[in-house]
């Protein structure tokens, strides 16, 4: 739910900014933000990025809707990595923001025009699509064992034990292709987590039973002197 709230906030920000531009600037009018670097303008794009597929409104609506559905499914089913889901939610928010424009008017409002480079005019939704895409790409390229989150987890003695047991499990598995070794290790570590928890609760239950036996023995030993005293009398 948190990821969809994040995507919804991106959509809201994008809509508010586009409405403000539409009411403040006439098409083609500009406002200098940073001289020589960036200015605000009001342009309307009937295509995708860089005016690709211009004047093909319903094809773009269909493609965008399919992309939105795919992103939603990725967020729902890819539950093992919160960072990747936030990056996907960022792309989702931008895609929905531009999809609303295409369904409503068939034109996407763009407003940010860089002046230091020959680049297309873009909008808030485009910014979050690019940021999410870059974050997802970098996250995918970084090996899972070297990510900061994973590095912090590896400091735990329990996790160190998990990795040792995972190595034992992997040693019993035939050689796997390089592209599947990471997934195999993660699966092995999950199995060892379950094994450690089972052993922990088994030892805990055994300790409780042992404690009960010890207390019963101590109570019996305390009663014996009283009985011997009565017999002597």
Query: What are the residue numbers of the active site?
Result: 110, 126
Residue pair 94/132 in contact (Cβ under 8 Å)? The answer is yes
Beta strand 38-45 with 30-34: parallel, antiparallel or unpaired?
A: antiparallel
Sign, Cα dihedral of 27, 32, 37, 40: negative
The dihedral region occupied by 116, where left means phi > 0, alpha psi between -120 and 50, and beta the remainder, is alpha
Question: Token digits for 116?
Answer: 């230091």
Q: What distance in Å separates the CA atoms of residue 129 and residue 126, rounded to the nearest whole number?
A: 5
Question: Token digits for 57?
Answer: 């409104």
Q: What distance in Å separates the CA atoms of residue 67 and residue 206, rounded to the nearest whole number?
A: 54
């Amino acid at each position: 739910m948190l990821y969809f709230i994040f995507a919804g906030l991106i959509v809201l920000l994008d809509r508010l900014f586009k409405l403000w531009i539409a009411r403040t600037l006439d098409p083609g009018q500009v406002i200098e933000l940073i001289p020589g670097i960036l200015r605000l303008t009001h342009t309307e794009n009937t295509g995708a990025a860089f005016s690709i597929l211009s004047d093909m409104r319903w094809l773009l609506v269909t493609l965008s809707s399919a992309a939105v559905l795919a992103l939603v499914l990725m967020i729902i089913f890819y539950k093992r990595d919160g960072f990747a889901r936030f990056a996907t939610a960022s792309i989702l928010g931008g895609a929905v923001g531009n999809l609303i424009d295409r369904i409503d008017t068939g034109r996407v409002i763009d407003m940010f025009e860089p002046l230091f480079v020959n680049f297309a005019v873009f909008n808030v939704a485009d910014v979050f699509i690019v940021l999410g895409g870059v974050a997802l790409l970098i996250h995918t390229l970084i090996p899972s064992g070297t990510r900061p989150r994973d590095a912090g987890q590896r400091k735990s003695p329990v996790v160190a034990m998990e990795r040792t047991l995972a190595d034992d499990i992997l040693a019993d598995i035939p050689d796997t292709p390089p592209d599947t070794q990471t997934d195999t290790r993660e699966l092995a570590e999950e199995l060892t987590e379950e094994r450690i928890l089972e052993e922990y609760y088994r030892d805990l239950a055994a300790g409780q039973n042992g404690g009960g036996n010890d207390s019963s023995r101590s109570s019996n030993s305390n009663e014996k002197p009283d009985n011997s005293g009565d017999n002597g009398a």
